[in-house]
Copies of this chain bind each other. A is one copy, B any other.
């Protein structure tokens, strides 16, 4: 576990996860990673076979972690009303705006993929993202019990995409002409408002389903 080689591997993963989450794949250079991790430049190629391999590994770990998060919350979700469950779902999506912990980084990594798919890893993403998709699909199903598969699919994708504009534009939204300072209170409030709109939207749809 704490073999010397494992620690550099770990240092690289940690540094890479942070940088990829903040700047995305293209925005992160090998040299930036090794500087942050304080390891030699060739170490990435030695341990991961290249930048792609490292990214694959980081993304895989992030998805695993995120899936665990989701599964852990999935139990709570069942005890919540569908409205509360949806609100929790949205709040978790917006959480990276305030928190800088591990699961927030995972969420931001995932968000890069939803918004700017990395050419390298379609297969992995498709595979690992499935549990997350199911989560959203279950949620949608609670609001649209009579909907067909296609409707549920679109609803899931739509729910997952709800918050990316806020995540990707934190700094810009703070400036004119928008002027939304993203402090904790604001994020919490946005989560509430958006949740309310979504609940009302999907909730109404369930009653007048065709």
Most buried by B among A158, A190, A196, A201: A201
Contact (Cβ within 8 A) A193 B133:
no
User: Looking at the complex, which one of B26, B116, B122, B196 makes contact with A205 (CB distance below 8 Å)?
Assistant: B196
Residues of chain B within 8 A of A179, CB atoms compared: 153
Interface residues of A (CB under 8 A from B): 24, 26, 114-117, 122, 125-126, 129-130, 133, 150-151, 153-155, 157-158, 160-162, 164-166, 168-169, 171-173, 175-180, 190, 193-194, 196-205
Contact (Cβ within 8 A) A175 B114:
no
Contact (Cβ within 8 A) B154 A180:
yes
Contact (Cβ within 8 A) A172 B122:
yes
Minimum distance in angstroms from A208 CB to a CB of chain B: 8
Minimum distance in angstroms from A67 CB to a CB of chain B: 14
Residues of chain B within 8 A of A122, CB atoms compared: 172, 175
Residues of chain B within 8 A of A151, CB atoms compared: 193
Give the residue name and chain of the B residue nearest to A175 (CB): B126
Residues of chain B within 8 A of A154, CB atoms compared: 180, 190, 193-194
Residues of chain B within 8 A of A26, CB atoms compared: 26
Known: A197-B202, A201-B198, A205-B196. A176 touches B126 (CB 8 A): yes
Known: A165-B160, A200-B204, A204-B204. A177 touches B114 (CB 8 A): no
Complex Cα spacing A133 to B169, Å: 14
Contact (Cβ within 8 A) B201 A116:
no
User: Looking at the complex, which one of B150, B166, B172, B177 makes contact with A161 (CB distance below 8 Å)?
Assistant: B166
A-B CB contact pairs (8 Å), 23 listed: A115-B115, A115-B116, A115-B164, A115-B165, A117-B169, A117-B171, A126-B176, A126-B177, A129-B177, A133-B178, A150-B180, A153-B178, A153-B179, A153-B180, A157-B165, A157-B173, A157-B180, A160-B165, A161-B161, A161-B164, A164-B165, A197-B198, A200-B201
